[in-house]
Structure 1
Amino acid sequence: MEWLGLHFLTGLPESGQVLLNCIHDPFLVLLAYLVACAGSFATLDMAERVAHAENPSSQRLWRWVGAGCLAGGIWAMHFIGMLAFQVPVDVHFQLPITLLSLLIALLTSWLAMYTLSRPTLSFWQCLKASVWIGMGIATMHYVGMGAMHSQAMVYYQPTLFTLSVVIAIGASLAALLLASYLRNGTGMFHQLLKYGASLVLGAGIISMHFTGMAAFNLVLPSGTLLAQPGEHNHLQLGLTVAIMTLLIIGSSISAALADKKLQKKEHDLQRVNSLLSQLDQARMSLQQVAHYDALTNLINRRGFNQIFAEKLIEKSHGGGMLAVLFLDIDHFKRINDSLGHDAGDELLKVLASHIKGSIRSHEDVVARFGGDEFCILIDLHDREEARQMAQRIMLKMKEPIELAGRRMVMTTSIGISLFPQDGKTCEELLKNADLALYQSKGSGRNSLNFFSANLKARAMLELQLEEELRHALRENTGLMLYYQPIYDLKTGQVSKLEALIRWQHPTHGLLAPDRFIPLAEANGLITELDHWVLRKACQDLAELSRLGCEELKIAVNCSPLSLARDELAGEIEQALLSNGVAPQRLELEVTENALMGNIADTLGLLLQIRSLGVSLSIDDFGTGYSSLAYLKRLPLNTLKIDRSFIIDIPKSTQDMEIVQAIIVMAHTLHLEVVTEGVETFEQYQFLECHGCDYVQGYLLSRPVPLAELRPVLNEINQRKDVYTVTPWSLVHGTTALM
């Protein structure tokens, strides 16, 4: 078979001369191998760039660059290898056929790069592509050999020719597999693998070439005069081609490396932008959390204060009025306690929507400060606008709400302060609105109040009294106990004293309990105050013993908050022991509402106190909501009838019947009865007639300090006939308040 003057399957002619003294320049052979290795490395690098390219245009660009590098490396290796082939005849190359071999190399290389640009590449795909690529390389090689013209005829050994094609296919398969494997790696080890793979692929490519050259035979026809080879500088031409090829390949590799770094920087920039975006989202989320209430989606106190400050600056420069409405949902705690916090949260959402639906426009600001407290900031022209909005909110709040299977109606208390007359700063206006809210809650709730100067003065006085009360308790100064006798109707003697606290204030004089007890309850001082009364009463009991009144008992009041403390029994025992007082001489008075507040815990504590020997009395009976079923279980000794049932006797027949029924009921429960507030002789006679055990009130004596107690006791105890004795109120004139 003859193709381009080349004989592939034809045997050597019988006549003619076979040229056997052909040699290769070792330097050019080594140079050809170097170019093959460089082309292989460039192919591996371009395959990696194609795999990492992020858009189709970049993939096409690097696919063509890789094809050019591979084609240049293979073709230059072939051309330099041909230049290394030295024969004793004149040889020249035809340019068109040489360029055709270059074109075949380029198309074959493009096929290789196209194959490597696929996302995934199976072995069978590699094998199929390697057959075409190997055939293309072999075609390029033998077309290039066909460009060589001389006097001799070219014959190929069929075996070596076939082997060269197989080597080309095997080298192509190895190249595809290695490139597919190495295109996704990173790091130093990956780079070393690429270098090693380039050496192997270069060896495969050059092996194919020189296997084809080994199959190559030149036969000079007989009778042909041997023309001596011309002066050709093959070494210089080979170096020129190698240098140009290496420069092109090197530039391509450098461009790929620069693009890789640029792409990495772009990725880094994208990551930075992504991080900045995430940080911005996180900042916005934090701002949302920091300035908005998660439950109602209203702004919170911090967000409200920020808007409030901006509004104040605007109004201070441009003029105008602002109103701050402070809202508190009435008795909201009962919802949480009875239906649970989830139901309470749902109710808050509904109430928040009611409030937001009552404002006039988006310029009005609604905030939830926490719990059941809301605040509204509005622009207004006159005071009545704030009142009208508050009334709209109160009316909206009264709409029935379906919650947890119940239909309920809520109310709200509102306090209002105005800018600029009630304050110039956020803190001052909020504080004054809170004072007005406190006034609304104190006046029965479900009402609104504007701030006024007297509210601030009263708040300042309350704060000052609180500080001075703390000082009085801490330094044990100013506080004292007054005692009111409790008269035993059966023995005609005073058998008990009720301890009543007073405060000798350095500025306001002697203060009654109703002036500072509510203050102590509101500020957490009541338990400390109760403890002081307990210790002082025990000390006075010891003093009464020294004065010869060993049988007198003292009754001390116990607040509901103190009754909820487990430490109370221990404190009572310690006060008795430290003063050497018998427990039977102390009586603890508790209100019926305090007893019924938490009956299970209260019962356990009362049993501990009774086990000490201390008597127990239920105070202000009839004003609360006692249950007889619970009352009979309590370890009580005494029942005190509230003065509100006595004050209209004997004018009120109904009150007389109630008192009589209470006395009968108490005796049925084996309780002694004390009636307080007895001020007239008629009341005294009625109580004695109907079996009351003890009386207490102004008829006998007003409360007096311990130092004045002995004469009062002597006078009361010396009365033999109470029906003829002149009442204390007639002897000593008008009495002091309890």
Structure 2
Amino acid sequence: MEGFSIHFLGSLPAQGQLLLDCRHDPWLVLLSYVIATAGSLSTLNIAKQLDHEQRHSMRITWVLVGALCLAGGIWSMHFIGMLAFQAPVAIHYDLATTLLSLLVALAAALLALYCMAQPRPSLTRQLLAAFIIGSGIAAMHYSGMAAIRSPAQAYYHGGLFALSIAIAISASFAALLLTQYFRYGSLRRQKSLKYSAALVMGAAITSMHYTGMAALYLVVPESTELQLRSADNSVQLVLIVATTTLLILSLSLAAAWIGRKLDDKERDLQRVNALLVQLDHARASLEQAAHFDPLTELLNRRGFNRVFAAALEEHAITGRSLAVMFLDMDHFKRINDTLGHDAGDELLRVVAQRIRSALRERDIVARFGGDEFCVVASLDSHTAPRLLALRLLEQMKEPIMLAGRKMVMTTSIGISLFPQDGSSADELLKHADLALYQSKGSGRNVVHFFNPHLRQKASFELQLEEDLRQSLQQGSGLLLYYQPIIDLRTGELAKLEALVRWKHPHHGLLTPDRFIAIAEANGFIAQLDDWVLTQACYDLRYLSEKGYAELRVAVNCSALNLSNDLLPGRVEQILNETHCPAQRLELEVTESALLSNINRAIDLLEGIRALGVSLSIDDFGTGYSSLAYLRRLPLNTLKIDRSFIQDIAHSSQDREIVHAIIAMAHALHLKVVAEGVESTQQLSFLQEHGCDQVQGYLFSKPVPLDELINQFQPHERPLERVAARF
């Protein structure tokens, strides 16, 4: 059996031939399959690592290790199979030829690993690679068979010989396909496919070997002594195979350990990547929440400040002008109060869309909160900001459907210009806000540009706010002036109206119209009302000491306090602290304050009335729909506004209104007080038409309490004094 020649059964010698019956040890056959499977598994592990390795040197290393595992597995399987082969003639193996077959297996394995490392090769390339690899495996097998040295001559069955080569090529093609499939999918799926591929590859390699062995026939002369035996140099072969197998197992274990570590690393990287993706999404969400308004999807104040700063820097460099516009919806609160907050939100979304549609792409628009929007627009001409503002006003006037109702909203706009009105973002925003405040105060639905006068006015009001807060904290500077109210039936002094004054250290004596609005806007009107009420109660005690034990005092209540549920409790607390009889105190509330929230006002007034305090409605006739609600209010007195009294001597319309108010009030069992009486003609008309009480400059201006006491003695009849003067 020397040499590499291959003989087929068709060329058997004519005489003296003997076909030997050969056998295989089943346990060694099983072992050969296990070795082939282990080598295949190790190779697949290494092929998978090649997918993740980017370094060229490491890829070469992995290819070499994988080739050693595959070649060693195939070669070890082959020679374990040869050790399992038992023939009735003497057999030994040529070690040089045996090692040469290992080199053939290594070459085929290197080619296999190279093909496995390719990302998704074409089907043609896979078939070509499978043919070359399968041929290499077959070459390794039959070169290993050529290492047999025996007196027997080897012949091969042609069909089985071809089948063994076909199995080798098919196994190679299956291995390449499986390598591509198990790279993708979940980790569990990859593992399942990998182990399945190893079993299939091991079975295919083993099948190829034993198909080749089945094709082998040994022919000896008839006189040859036969005895079933193993190879003569089987010990040497066992040592070589054992060493190779140990190398395969070591490489397999190392590859498995490294693969597991790399898999763990890959899973960690996947988790880290997933966390990074989540962090990116969270950061994007936070960015959206931090810089954009969720309702309108416009920039919010923080996002606006960032974009505005960049735009301002750019315009400062280029020298171009820009306009900063503050927009505020007129009477937006009424929408929330009447139609609900959902309708208010829908209105804000529509307004935001309309503002955006009126602007250019490069302009900036933001919602600052509530119903306040800000626009920053680059200017192409001096008339551009006014034209843009007027366009925005027209956009807002388009009807809007809200809760099944067609609404028409208006907007007030304040504008500041860069660089005329300021060079910083804070200055421009502050000045635009001042201009907006001017628009609100000028009747709304108008546009106002900033001018220095507004800044001076704002600075003055800010200083007044600080000084008023300090005066309240220190209890200094505030005074109560009193104006008498005369009873027209008795002619006597009926009560006094308490009117607060502020003696400012720099601006002198200030009337309420200069500082009440400041107190209301800055949240300390309740503190101011408490001071007035407390001081009036102490003054009532002082009046009692001076002989005015029956005199009553009327105190004005702010409209904001009339919406405070704590008002009745505060009135009761002050009455208790000052030991003032409740029946001597009268609380005046304006008609507009009552009608802003009639149901709450009724509850609060009934609570105050239950204390024994009288109630009066001030400035009657200046509100809306007052007659519909007047009968529901727990009132004692109705005061006719001075605007109806001023021209009563010359205006028949005013006379008719006053006459109707008096008649209506008396029908509701209310006393009537006329304010602003300054002439005897006015006084005579009121007397003739049954007015109960009057007050005005005809009798006295508001003066300090001591001065008033000096003017009017107890039980004096001021009405007679006035009649005597005229």
TM-score w.r.t. the length of structure 1 is 0.73
CA offsets per residue over residues 358-391 of structure 1, 9 Å max, x none? 22x3222122222211111122254321111111
Query: Whole-Å Cα distance in 2 between the matches of residues 5 and 392 of structure 1?
Result: 101
Q: Following TM superposition, by how much is the alpha carbon of 1:555 offset from its aligned partner in structure 2, in angstroms?
A: 0.5
Between the two proteins, the alignment pairs up a number of residues equal to 636
Matching residue of 2:438: 439
Query: Whole-Å Cα distance in 1 between the matches of residues 80 and 31 of structure 2?
Result: 8
Instruction: Pick closer, same or farther for the CA change 1:505–1:554 going to 2, 3 Å.
Output: same
* Residue aligned with 1:312, SS: helix
Query: Whole-Å Cα distance in 2 between the matches of residues 230 and 717 of structure 1?
Result: 151
Query: Whole-Å Cα distance in 2 between the matches of residues 475 and 230 of structure 1?
Result: 119
* Residue aligned with 2:509, SS: strand
The answer to whether the Cα contact below 8 Å between 1:152 and 1:220 also exists between their aligned partners in 2 is: no
CA offsets per residue over residues 274-325 of structure 1, 9 Å max, x none? 5444433443333233222222222222222112211222222332212111
Structure 2 unaligned residues grouped into runs of 5+: 1-6, 10-17, 53-58, 109-140, 155-177, 214-218
The answer to whether 1:475 aligns with 2:447 is no
Matching residue of 1:329: 329
Query: Whole-Å Cα distance in 2 between the matches of residues 577 and 639 of structure 1?
Result: 27
The answer to whether the Cα contact below 8 Å between 1:94 and 1:149 also exists between their aligned partners in 2 is: no
Which of 35, 38, 43 is the matching residue for 1:41? 38
Matching residue of 1:604: 603
Matching residue of 1:695: 694
Q: Following TM superposition, by how much is the alpha carbon of 1:259 offset from its aligned partner in structure 2, in angstroms?
A: 6.0
Counterpart code for 1:669: L
* Residue aligned with 2:550, SS: coil
CA offsets per residue over residues 546-598 of structure 1, 9 Å max, x none? 11111110000111221222222222222222222211111111112222232
The answer to whether 1:79 aligns with 2:78 is no
Matching residue of 2:338: 338
Greater displacement, 91-100 / 649-658 = 91-100
Greater displacement, 296-305 / 701-710 = 296-305
The answer to whether the Cα contact below 8 Å between 2:639 and 2:673 also exists between their aligned partners in 1 is: yes
CA offsets per residue over residues 247-282 of structure 1, 9 Å max, x none? 466556656665665566556555545544443344
* Residue aligned with 1:294, SS: coil
Matching residue of 1:556: 555
Matching residue of 1:21: none
Instruction: Pick closer, same or farther for the CA change 1:94–1:640 going to 2, 3 Å.
Output: closer
Q: Following TM superposition, by how much is the alpha carbon of 1:399 offset from its aligned partner in structure 2, in angstroms?
A: 1.9
Query: Whole-Å Cα distance in 1 between the matches of residues 103 and 722 of structure 2?
Result: 144
Q: Following TM superposition, by how much is the alpha carbon of 1:671 offset from its aligned partner in structure 2, in angstroms?
A: 1.0
* Residue aligned with 2:556, SS: strand
CA offsets per residue over residues 163-215 of structure 1, 9 Å max, x none? xxxxxxxxxxxxxxxx9xx999999xx9xxx9xx99xx99xx9xx99xx9xxx
Report matched runs for 1:522-561 at 5 Å.
Answer: 522-561=521-560
Matching residue of 1:353: 353
Counterpart code for 2:484: P
Matching residue of 1:430: 429
The answer to whether the Cα contact below 8 Å between 1:76 and 1:242 also exists between their aligned partners in 2 is: no
Counterpart code for 2:343: A
Report matched runs for 1:332-481 at 5 Å.
Answer: 332-359=332-359, 361-481=360-480
The answer to whether the Cα contact below 8 Å between 1:80 and 1:241 also exists between their aligned partners in 2 is: no
The answer to whether the Cα contact below 8 Å between 1:637 and 1:671 also exists between their aligned partners in 2 is: yes
Counterpart code for 2:493: V
Q: Following TM superposition, by how much is the alpha carbon of 1:617 offset from its aligned partner in structure 2, in angstroms?
A: 1.0
Instruction: Pick closer, same or farther for the CA change 1:570–1:460 going to 2, 3 Å.
Output: same
The answer to whether the Cα contact below 8 Å between 1:592 and 1:626 also exists between their aligned partners in 2 is: no
Instruction: Pick closer, same or farther for the CA change 1:91–1:308 going to 2, 3 Å.
Output: closer
Instruction: Pick closer, same or farther for the CA change 1:599–1:31 going to 2, 3 Å.
Output: same
The answer to whether the Cα contact below 8 Å between 2:90 and 2:231 also exists between their aligned partners in 1 is: no
Greater displacement, 87-96 / 289-298 = 87-96
Q: Following TM superposition, by how much is the alpha carbon of 1:87 offset from its aligned partner in structure 2, in angstroms?
A: 9.1
Instruction: Pick closer, same or farther for the CA change 1:569–1:337 going to 2, 3 Å.
Output: closer
Q: Following TM superposition, by how much is the alpha carbon of 1:461 offset from its aligned partner in structure 2, in angstroms?
A: 0.7
Query: Whole-Å Cα distance in 2 between the matches of residues 567 and 459 of structure 1?
Result: 32
Query: Whole-Å Cα distance in 1 between the matches of residues 720 and 426 of structure 2?
Result: 67
Counterpart code for 1:418: L
Instruction: Pick closer, same or farther for the CA change 1:505–1:94 going to 2, 3 Å.
Output: closer
Q: Following TM superposition, by how much is the alpha carbon of 1:76 offset from its aligned partner in structure 2, in angstroms?
A: 2.2
Query: Whole-Å Cα distance in 1 between the matches of residues 243 and 716 of structure 2?
Result: 136
* Residue aligned with 1:560, SS: coil
Q: Following TM superposition, by how much is the alpha carbon of 1:665 offset from its aligned partner in structure 2, in angstroms?
A: 1.3
* Residue aligned with 2:610, SS: helix
Matching residue of 1:285: 285
The answer to whether 1:296 aligns with 2:299 is no
Matching residue of 1:119: none
The answer to whether 1:620 aligns with 2:623 is no
- Over the matched positions of the two proteins, sequence identity in percent amounts to 51
Q: Following TM superposition, by how much is the alpha carbon of 1:92 offset from its aligned partner in structure 2, in angstroms?
A: 6.8
Q: Following TM superposition, by how much is the alpha carbon of 1:102 offset from its aligned partner in structure 2, in angstroms?
A: 13
Matching residue of 1:517: 516
* Residue aligned with 2:593, SS: helix
* Residue aligned with 1:612, SS: coil
Instruction: Pick closer, same or farther for the CA change 1:451–1:719 going to 2, 3 Å.
Output: closer
The answer to whether the Cα contact below 8 Å between 1:31 and 1:242 also exists between their aligned partners in 2 is: no
Report matched runs for 1:490-505 at 5 Å.
Answer: 490-505=489-504
Counterpart code for 1:73: S
The answer to whether the Cα contact below 8 Å between 2:614 and 2:635 also exists between their aligned partners in 1 is: yes
Counterpart code for 1:330: D
The answer to whether 1:595 aligns with 2:579 is no
The answer to whether the Cα contact below 8 Å between 2:541 and 2:580 also exists between their aligned partners in 1 is: yes
Matching residue of 1:318: 318
Query: Whole-Å Cα distance in 2 between the matches of residues 689 and 185 of structure 1?
Result: 101
CA offsets per residue over residues 528-553 of structure 1, 9 Å max, x none? 11111110000000011111111110
Matching residue of 2:572: 573
TM-score w.r.t. the length of structure 2 is 0.74
* Residue aligned with 2:299, SS: coil
Q: Following TM superposition, by how much is the alpha carbon of 1:670 offset from its aligned partner in structure 2, in angstroms?
A: 1.0
Query: Whole-Å Cα distance in 2 between the matches of residues 400 and 392 of structure 1?
Result: 15
Query: Whole-Å Cα distance in 1 between the matches of residues 8 and 723 of structure 2?
Result: 163
Matching residue of 1:307: 307
Matching residue of 1:114: none
Q: Following TM superposition, by how much is the alpha carbon of 1:493 offset from its aligned partner in structure 2, in angstroms?
A: 0.8
Query: Whole-Å Cα distance in 2 between the matches of residues 33 and 655 of structure 1?
Result: 122
The answer to whether the Cα contact below 8 Å between 1:487 and 1:695 also exists between their aligned partners in 2 is: yes
Instruction: Pick closer, same or farther for the CA change 1:720–1:334 going to 2, 3 Å.
Output: closer
Query: Whole-Å Cα distance in 2 between the matches of residues 412 and 657 of structure 1?
Result: 38
Counterpart code for 1:705: P
Query: Whole-Å Cα distance in 2 between the matches of residues 552 and 375 of structure 1?
Result: 55
Query: Whole-Å Cα distance in 1 between the matches of residues 530 and 308 of structure 2?
Result: 45
CA offsets per residue over residues 605-624 of structure 1, 9 Å max, x none? 22222222111111111111
CA offsets per residue over residues 515-535 of structure 1, 9 Å max, x none? 111111111121111111110
Query: Whole-Å Cα distance in 2 between the matches of residues 434 and 569 of structure 1?
Result: 37
Q: Following TM superposition, by how much is the alpha carbon of 1:415 offset from its aligned partner in structure 2, in angstroms?
A: 0.7
* Residue aligned with 1:469, SS: helix
The answer to whether 1:651 aligns with 2:654 is no
Matching residue of 2:243: 243
Instruction: Pick closer, same or farther for the CA change 1:90–1:666 going to 2, 3 Å.
Output: closer
The answer to whether the Cα contact below 8 Å between 1:394 and 1:446 also exists between their aligned partners in 2 is: yes
